[in-house]
Structure 1
């Protein structure tokens, strides 16, 4: 007869409870398992796969595949190879490409047809190429100094500069060529053989025919073969900016904005000496006796002084349109820039608060040179919504306490657009428009709305035209 199984002891029941994930009290125990959850009336048992340790990597972490690693490695290799290919192709001159192409074609024809003459020609061209390659090797360790006597010139003037090359090594440097880029062109200088610590100087002059900002440099030392098949350059000095200012004309004897500036704009600050009268007060030590109000002094018996409100001078605003549609040709655009520069220089000499704006934003006007530098860098804008009307709206929104606004545009702007542009300016501002029109023979003065409009075809017509407006 079989023996019945023994009843589990309390120790066994506790051990089995821990093994099954349940303690003896019937409560839930966090065992770090994930999976399905089985619930009964007394306990909740978590059944599943044991989670990894806290410091282990997540189960669902994405590891890069071999294909991704291979693609990244190939891209890195290709980037290195492309840089080296570009470095090699930059050394080949146009004549070198012709020579290489002819050599390849001759070899193809010679091998395909077995022509003895083609083989001889291909061997000769190959020998020329092989002999020319060693000229690329070797260093040109010059100490280069580029010096421009003037970095700001006017259109038509020459910029004079000097180039100094010093052999700072302990060995001689063979003859070479030095290239000095100037804008889109360049100048070349032949440098003779230089002994150790020897120096060579080159003087040059840069003619200027158009307004702009030219990058002079960087100086490059060339090494190449005598035939000009291959050429290698190395930069020795950073570029220097040469500012070619627009032509301007002096506006002597003109006090632009004088009446409005004398009136001033009163503020809440009181001053002893100004234009806007405020009240009377008693004399204080240090007061200027020129401001004694003698009638009040005689009536009161004490010295009475005039007291003024401190005034702020309103400023002068130039609005130059850079939209290409406002001009019939590039000469009108250059004339408008020259006119803006002339009036701006006159305003700065009169100590006016000057502000200049284009459709692209404000220009720096902290001094004559800064103003002309910014005018030198201006270019046409192709935005259709950026005409003279939009420019006037920008001035009205961003300029405050304005005395006079001078708008500059070309013959592409009609009277209706000028009238609309001037109507957008703040109320009470005196508006003047200068139109660069190559079709007019003499200065033309007319009235468009509340603005005076002057049309000129040459820069020397500007002073008499402005004098008529202010008279």
Structure 2
């Protein structure tokens, strides 16, 4: 395949030969013939040896969130016995243009590595590849391209803050106090020890067999039930958000998912009426959040209460505390569930639920700290870069 310089050289050869023939100028005919021979030789040179490369690709780190940067590492092997010319590699990246790399000549069966930096600007599935390898002759007249390898996909998780969930007995702030009160108000179910009966003890906790062998009544002591499960419901009704507001909502939901996973809680994620992941894990939940979008459907589904032992947190991430999603959920909460409303558009409310103000990133961090008495680490603003660049 001729390059732009190759077509220019071919045109020069034709014009020179034509003028030389019309006016009888032998030198121009010789010049045209020589340039034409150079073009032909360049085509033969670039097509004589096929580009026989094998490529393996690795993305480091494996898991990204919006605002991070990854390093794409290539391991390229020349599968031919003969050497290669210098190669230009280009890899297209969705929404980022592409990355151009230069590869030095490879001997037969030689392996080389090269990298480029991949900024993850937005959440979602990012596709890149296949890699295009191009070889040119030394004069830049002719080139040959070949697709090498296949496409590759990575999921960019939503940007999220590092929240700390209070425990049932060790938390602080209004939320921690509520969990402690709920925990102490329950009998628990994990045996701890026996002690003598005291006035006011629950008669159901008397251990009759041990009491029969003792002069006093013995009472079972049990550990208070701790925080065991967490449900995060993301309202994806388009009427509740601006585009920026929905991204804050996804980020808030991802923050809650990461906090629940870090605390070892049984995790459930609900997105609108389409997605309900029960007993899920961090990767599956983050992948669902990375690819979610708004819908025009009005959220009227009543979320069935989880049937699980111990205390539970239920996050409802929505536009305002007065949304349909909150109203539909409230009647279905169990006595062991503590409701937290994360409002991303408006905080006006007449309810007495725990509420987190997520109308801005700063207010989300501050509101969470006020509610729990713990610090939330705020994510840095994603870099605004238009395309991937190589290292």
TM bin, normalised by shorter chain, reads 0.5 to 0.7
The equivalent residue for 2:316 is 407
| Deviation string, structure 1 residues 399-426 (Cα, Å, up to 9, x no partner) | 335833211123xx58363663344533
Query: How large is the RMSD of aligned CA atoms in angstroms?
Result: 4.8
Tell me the SS of whatever aligns to 1:322. Answer: coil
Q: Using a 3 Å threshold, how does the CA distance of structure 1 residues 470 and 158 change in structure 2: closer, same or farther?
A: closer
The equivalent residue for 1:190 is 102
The equivalent residue for 1:280 is 206
The equivalent residue for 1:172 is 83
Distance 1:253 1:313 in 2: 9
Contact 2:187 2:224 in 1 (8 A): yes
**Alignment counterpart, residue 354 of structure 1, candidates 247, 258, 267:** 267
The equivalent residue for 1:118 is none
Contact 2:85 2:135 in 1 (8 A): no
> TM-score, length-normalised on structure 2?
0.65
CA drift of 1:345 comes to 2.7
Distance 2:93 2:203 in 1: 59
* 1:210 to 2:122 alignment: yes
- The 5 A counterparts of 1:272-351 are 272-273=191-192, 278-281=204-207, 301=215, 304-306=218-220, 315-329=229-243, 331-351=244-264
Distance 2:83 2:251 in 1: 51
CA drift of 1:162 comes to 2.2
Contact 2:83 2:107 in 1 (8 A): yes
Q: Which has the higher contact order (CA 8 A, sep 6+)?
A: 2
CA drift of 1:159 comes to 0.9
- The 5 A counterparts of 1:16-35 are none
| Deviation string, structure 1 residues 129-179 (Cα, Å, up to 9, x no partner) | 999976567422123232323121333222123222222321122333323
Q: Using a 3 Å threshold, how does the CA distance of structure 1 residues 172 and 319 change in structure 2: closer, same or farther?
A: same
Distance 1:194 1:155 in 2: 36
CA drift of 1:194 comes to 1.8
Distance 2:141 2:100 in 1: 14
Q: Using a 3 Å threshold, how does the CA distance of structure 1 residues 235 and 182 change in structure 2: closer, same or farther?
A: same
Distance 1:127 1:321 in 2: 69
- The 5 A counterparts of 1:238-277 are 239-251=152-164, 255=171, 258-259=179-180, 262=183, 272-273=191-192
CA drift of 1:318 comes to 0.7
Tell me the SS of whatever aligns to 2:327. Answer: helix
The equivalent residue for 2:342 is 434
The equivalent residue for 2:382 is none
Contact 1:149 1:161 in 2 (8 A): yes
Contact 1:265 1:313 in 2 (8 A): no
Distance 2:50 2:156 in 1: 34
Contact 1:404 1:430 in 2 (8 A): yes
Distance 1:174 1:264 in 2: 77
Distance 1:206 1:326 in 2: 33
Tell me the SS of whatever aligns to 2:258. Answer: helix
**Which protein shows a greater Rg?**
1
Tell me the SS of whatever aligns to 2:105. Answer: coil
Q: Using a 3 Å threshold, how does the CA distance of structure 1 residues 170 and 321 change in structure 2: closer, same or farther?
A: same
* Corresponding pairs, count: 330
Distance 1:313 1:252 in 2: 10
Structure 1 window deviating more from structure 2 (221-230 vs 310-319): it is: 221-230
Gaps of 5+ in 1: 1-90, 104-125, 285-295
**Alignment counterpart, residue 294 of structure 2, candidates 356, 381, 384:** 381
Tell me the SS of whatever aligns to 2:56. Answer: strand
The equivalent residue for 1:157 is 68
Q: Using a 3 Å threshold, how does the CA distance of structure 1 residues 261 and 197 change in structure 2: closer, same or farther?
A: farther
CA drift of 1:364 comes to 7.2
CA drift of 1:362 comes to 2.5
CA drift of 1:374 comes to 3.6
Structure 1 window deviating more from structure 2 (136-145 vs 226-235): it is: 226-235
CA drift of 1:187 comes to 1.2
